[in-house]
Structure 1
């Protein structure tokens, strides 16, 4: 598959910073018809050495970081594990929060009976923390900036749902009104900061949401 709508934000000998489109897996899925993905397209189109450092959900668009050698991959993976990176997402959420900012500190776990959904579980869930801030209020919905401190699967989607503000276009978690309010999941990785694995320079990239 060609790179087509995959935009390269930055590249050097050690890293690739990519703007991933919505409806594209980060890595191959288990099913045979889920082999098309970001890493495969990059490896087949000029970047055979590319290695995934972290992932974005299939429907989530925005900034994703890849390494171009084993040492860089190891160091960047460590930074994500040790929470030395900074991430921010832009999202459209249903409703109007009473406050302009806040946090959600609720443990999450995968829920096999409703796969691939995740749920809040105070007994068996893993710690998850998200900060949110309203950027714009627009009638029935609002634009928010979401800052995950932890990196649990579906964390931002479940946390916003838990406070009564599901993301627009979210086929897994939104109620009918929020689902029908937009044709795609309105979640975009808009900022990523990390330390370059070779130069030691602190790097920050931003990418505006397409919605």
Structure 2
């Protein structure tokens, strides 16, 4: 029984043995399992009048009572930042993120982010994790462009996050890299973790690296450069950039992982052209996932941004 934000659930034999947070999330609309767990720990949701753990195994006849507090506003301000929208409905929005746009506010970037833009653009946002905010289920680096999906409510966020965790989401990138790979395709299987010295970087030599898999295929060859189509099986921080650097074909324009001067022995016009890249030439080109409500397969392709398209055209004419 649910009245507004107050609810009572009578546990049946069918639900006996299941976790308390799971049952609350399945019966109470707009309450994710994460939010249910937090409210159970705070005592705002109780079983038989007692505070239990989120993983408490329910018994037939148990009574769950609680209320869902109204979502709190986040401390970030809505900002009228233009968005290139590939798709939108009441549950999610798919953005073609331009290079240079930070996804989430963080120290040094509290304004001018994608979250600020979404807070302005989406007045229909529902509470996620007890706060009025968009549900960021995956991210792109500031200088990486391309397709990115964002949830508008807790149910959509939980479903999309589960798809990312179980690797059901298909992500394909285009990367313009230094050099000419000897083969037309390959798979990189190197663990990724924090760099042992430079803590803001990732590395394949970390002592606590996590398994990472990147498959790549040549899409187009140039003189001392190649356009790769890249599929990620895992989603580690900076994975493509780190893996490309590890096989000695770093992403053009990547000042973090392209550590040595490239193109010294190239013709001057080609060397200047490659060095003119304003940022890492990495683009999230294709994104596939299952819609959290309709369960339809959703596929999106994000057009190349002008800077990357221009550089590719220039390389074709060298």
Aligned positions of 1:117-132 closer than 5 A: 117-121=201-205, 123-132=207-216
- Are residues 1:190 and 2:282 paired? no
**Higher RCO, Cα 8 Å, sep 6+:** 1
Alignment size in residue pairs: 209
Aligned positions of 1:175-186 closer than 5 A: 175-177=260-262, 180-186=275-281
Q: CA RMSD in A?
A: 1.6
Greater share of residues in strand: 1
Shift of 1:48: 6.0
- Are residues 1:169 and 2:253 paired? yes
Aligned partner (choices 8, 22, 26) of residue 99 of structure 2: 22
Shift of 1:177: 2.6
For residue 39 of structure 1, what is the aligned residue in structure 2? 115
Aligned positions of 1:1-211 closer than 5 A: 1-4=79-82, 6-31=83-108, 33-47=109-123, 49=125, 50-111=134-195, 113-121=197-205, 123-174=207-258, 175-177=260-262, 180-210=275-305, 211=308
CA distance in 2, matches of 1:166, 1:124: 23
Which structure 2 residue ranges, 5 or more long, are not aligned? 1-78, 126-133, 264-273, 309-318
TM-score normalised to structure 2 length: 0.63
Write out the 4+ residue segments of structure 1 that deviate beyond 6 Å after TM superposition. Answer: none
TM-score normalised to structure 1 length: 0.93
Shift of 1:208: 2.5
CA distance in 1, matches of 2:284, 2:302: 8
**Structure whose alpha-carbon radius of gyration is higher:** 2
Which structure 1 residue ranges, 5 or more long, are not aligned? none
Shift of 1:30: 2.0
